[in-house]
Amino acid sequence: MGFPYHMLMVTSIMTSISPDIYEAANIDGASQWQKTAKITMPLVLTQTLPLIIMSFTYNINNFGVAFFLFMGSLGTVGGPPAADTVSTGASSIDIMISWIYKLTLNNQKYQYASVLAVLVFVILAPFAIWNYTRTKSYKESGMNPFSQTPTLLQFEKLFNDTNYLIWYKNTLSIAIMVCIATLIITSTAAYIFSRFKFLMRKQLMVSFLVFQIFPSFVGMVAIYILLLRIGGLDTKWGLALVYIAGNIPYNTWLVKSYMDSIPKSFDEAARIDGASNFVAYTRVILPIARPIMTFLLITSFIGPWMDFIIPRLVLRSDKQFTLALGLFNLINGRASNNYTMFAAGAVLVAVPFVVLFLIGQKSLLTALGAAGVKE
C-alpha cells in the first residue's frame, strides 16, 4: 500500500537533481551504472532516509492492519499456538503490537505488556536518534538540542532571575490549605449525611448535585465580585477559599457513598462501649474510610497545583502567582522566549506529584488490607 506514495516521493527527488551533475559525469566518461551508483543513489538515499526510518517504525506499530488481517487470532481463540501461549497468550503470527494488545485486554497481564512497550521504545529510539543526527538541522550550528556539556544553567537562571521559588511556595501552601480544609469539611459533612436523619437532608444533597452541574467558569463573575467585597483578590487565602468551596459538593457525595458501605454495626458497637458520635467518627469510621480519604487527599492536591484559570482571575501581583501562572508568563508574549527556563520549571512541578503518589499508594494499600469486613 505504501508503494505508490514512495514511488512518487523518489520520482520527485530525482527530478530535482540538477542535470549539470550528470553532464559533468558524462564528460568524465562515467557509465550509466556509475552515474546511478555514484550520483543518483546517494542523493536519493540522503533525501529518503528519514522516510525509510519512519516507514520502519510505522510498520512496527501498525496495529490496524494486523488486527484486520489476523482478526480471529487477536481475540480469545488465537492463532497457531506458540510454545509459551498458555502464560503469555502469544501465537506464531503475532507481531509485537498485537501481542501487547492481547496481553492487556485478553489476559490482563499488564506487567508483561509494559515490558514489551518499553522494548518497542528501545528498538525504535536508536533509529530515530540516528536518523535525526544525519539531518541538516542537526549539523548546523545552534540547531542541536542536545548539549555537549549538560549544565544546570537554566535552573540557576530560573531561581535567580525569576520568582520561581516564591511561586512554588505559594502553590504548595495553597494546595496544603485546600487539602486540609477539604478533608475536614467533606469527611465531616459526609458522616453527618450518612449516619443521621434531619430536616432538609435530601434537599441539601440534591442541591450539592445541582451546584456541581455548573462548571466553575460560569461563576467567575460572582467569584470575582465576592472576593472583591471581602478583600480576597490577589491573596492566597482567597484563592484557596474558591477551591475549597468548589470541592465540597462532589467530594461530600463521594465520601458519603463510601461511608454508606461501612456497616452501621461498627458505630453501634462503639456507642455500646460508651463512645460519643464524635469518638465513633474519629476512632472507628475514619480509619476504615482511609482509602477514600487518601484518594481525596491526592485529588484535592492536584486541583490547585495544576489549575490556571482561577489563579488568572484572582491573582494580580507576581509575588502572589502560582506555578501555572508564573510559568505561563515566562513564555507569554512575542518577546518572551524563555522556553528553556519554562521546561526546567515544568520538570520541578512533577516532584510533589511523584512523592505524593508514592506515599499515597502505600497508605492506600495498607488501609485496604487493614479495613474492617463489610456487610
pLDDT value, residue 179? 93
- When mean pLDDT is compared across 20-34, 216-230, 327-341, 355-369, the lowest value belongs to 355-369
Give the mean pLDDT of 20-27: 86
Report pLDDT for 90.
Answer: 66
Q: What is the pLDDT of residue 77?
A: 41
Q: Which of 149, 162, 148 is nearest to 344 (CA)?
A: 162
Same fold, 3-139 and 157-370: yes
Average pLDDT over residues 36-59: 72
CA atoms within 13 A on the CB side of 68: 4
Phi, psi of 81 (to 5 degrees): -70, 145
User: If you ran DSSP here, which 8-state letter would residue 273 be given?
Assistant: T
User: Grid coordinates standing for 340?
Assistant: 528553556
Domain ranges of the chain: 3-139, 157-370
For residue 226, is pLDDT > 50?
yes
Q: Which of 89, 86, 293, 90 is nearest to 182 (CA)?
A: 293
Spatial distance between the Cα atoms of 179 and 184, rounded to a whole number of angstroms: 9
Query: What is the rounded average pLDDT of the residues 220-225?
Result: 86
When pLDDT is averaged across residues 295-308 and rounded to a whole number, the result is: 87
Domain spanning 157-370 has what CATH number? 1.10.3720.10
d(CA 298, CA 275): 31
Q: How confident is the model at residue 173 (pLDDT cuts 50, 70, 90)?
A: very high
d(CA 72, CA 370): 44
158 near 164, Cβ under 8 Å?
Answer: yes
Nearest to 178 by CA among 305, 316, 309, 351: 305
Angle at alpha carbon of residue 219, lines to 215 and 222, rounded to 5° = 170
- Domain formed by 3-139, architecture: Orthogonal Bundle (1.10)
Q: What is the mean pLDDT of the chain?
A: 79
Over range 39-52, report the average pLDDT: 71
- Reply yes or no on whether the pLDDT at 371 is more than 80: no
Which is more confidently placed, 186 or 110? 186
Counts for the chain of helices (H) and strands (E), in that order = 21, 0
The mean per-residue pLDDT over the stretch 299-322 comes to 90
Residue 309, pLDDT score? 87
